[in-house]
Amino acid sequence: MAQDIVMVVGLGNPGPDYENTRHNAGALFVEALAREAGQSLRPEKKYHGHYARIQWQGLELHLLNPATFMNRSGLSVKALADFFKISPGQILIAHDELDLPPGTAKLKKGGGHGGHNGLRDTIAHLGTNEFQRLRIGIGHPGDSRKVTGYVLGRLGKRETEDLNEVFNETMRVLPDAVSGNLAAAMNRLHSFKPTTA
């Protein structure tokens, strides 16, 4: 099957201090995808991250969670992309999104970084913003001064349940997105609501 996307990256911060924080939603998604394919991500120094190559639903995907801190994510993304000669348009970056409510996710191609340091560094390293994104909603604390503490805060029980639901739905539409039918994947994913909504 022809694939438009061959590499899926989950943005997050490494180490136990950042486990299960809202800012790590992208990394949590990629870990869930690896599990779904019966794999786990393993440290890979040459890519500055945790890596797995999976066969899943007739697709072959490179999975990567950078082990650099968020604001250095691009170093890891570029290392893997360069090694396998993957173009920016074939990369899907999963990241947390303040402007979407928890339990929702949206697919998008291109666009700015919206103040997200992981996206900013990825754009700088790749030299373009024309990669695909999976924007995973974490909600907004309502006050810009509280954003840093909020994104670095741990996910609550309900937020975790919402995330797991939207991860499952994303995995249902991912084969469409990966194989070039982005419109079909977007239509389904963008109308998804968690059962707690």
The catalytic site residues sit at 23
Residue 91 CA to residue 77 CA, distance in Å, equals: 9
The bridge status of strand 59-66 relative to strand 91-97 is unpaired
Tokens for 26?
A: 């992208």
Write out the two tokens for 87: 């173009």
Name the β-bridge partners of 169: none
How big is the chain, counted in residues?
197
Tell whether the torsion through CA atoms of 9, 31, 161 and 25 is positive or negative. Answer: negative
> Which long-range contacts (C-beta less than 8 Å, at least 24 apart) are formed by 41-50?
41/65, 43/67, 46/79, 46/83, 47/76, 47/79, 47/80, 47/83, 48/75, 48/76, 48/79, 49/76, 49/79, 49/80
